[in-house]
Amino acid sequence: MKEKIGEWAFIAFVIIAILAGLAAGIGGAGALGWVTLVMVILGIIIGFTTIKTKEASTFLMAAIALLVANAGGVFLTIDQVLAPVGSIINAIVTNIAAFVAPAAIILAIKAIIGITKK
């Protein structure tokens, strides 16, 4: 049952991230506050339910790469060069980062607890 909830949360995450990115790129940035909250909640659900121990290191590596790239302003540069397409890409990546960050934190804590138990 946990896996089904996680699968549905992941599907919802992808759809919401893309739709919200499109909306923000077109000029509907006012709704991004609630979208970020939804992304964080879905990330927490994924962190607790879907990602297994053997997948955790791959997910954490990908999460680190995404979060560093997002924090480094790479996508803001794309936004400036390729507006309005860049705005859409930037908003989608920001939504994905809002989703990935809480899941990564939960998995990192689980990994640390797992290491200390050994």
Tens-digit pLDDT string for the chain (118 aa): 656 776 777 788 888 888 877 777 666 655 567 778 888 888 888 888 888 778 888 888 988 888 887 776 666 666 566 666 777 777 788 888 888 899 999 989 988 888 888 6
Residues sharing a CB contact under 8 Å with residue 116, sequence separation 6 or more, in sequence order: none
| Verdict on whether the full-model pTM lies above 0.85 | no
Q: How far is CA 19 from CA 33, 78, 89, in A?
A: 14, 19, 11
In terms of Cα–Cα distance, which of 13, 50, 7 is closest to 35?
Answer: 13
pLDDT at res. 54: 80
Cα pseudo-dihedral 66, 67, 68, 70, rounded to 10: 80
Angle at 93 between CA 98 and CA 106, to 5 degrees: 30
pLDDT at res. 32: 63
pLDDT at res. 117: 82
pLDDT at res. 72: 65
pLDDT at res. 105: 92
Structure tokens at 30: 């006012």
Q: Are 59 and 103 in contact (CB under 8 A)?
A: yes
